[in-house]
Amino acid sequence: MLEKKQKKKEKEEEKKKEKEEEKKKKKEEEKKKEEEEEEEEEKKEKKQGELPTSLLALSFL
């Protein structure tokens, strides 16, 4: 009887650990995705910032 209870507890603990690991992985993936999106936005902003200066240079020619 005790062995069965202990095995059941161990299985439950294992499941909890797996769920926690999955949550951690999801959080890490979401964080990574957000960082990548921010980088893309920064690149776009830089490109947008560069365009007007090049247009200004052309207007002087």
Tell me phi and psi for residue 10, to 5 degrees.
-60, -40
Residue 5: inside a domain: no
Distance of alpha carbon 54 from alpha carbon 51, whole angstroms: 5
Distance of alpha carbon 12 from alpha carbon 8, whole angstroms: 6
Residue 1: inside a domain: no
Residues of the chain with pLDDT under 70: 47-61
Q: What is the pTM of this model?
A: 0.54
The pLDDT score that the predictor gives to residue 29 is 96
Scanning the structure block, which residue is given the tokens 């769920």?
19
Residue 36: inside a domain: yes
Distance of alpha carbon 2 from alpha carbon 10, whole angstroms: 12
Domain residues for 15?
Answer: 11-61
The pLDDT score that the predictor gives to residue 22 is 97
Residue 19: inside a domain: yes
Domain count of the chain? Answer: 1
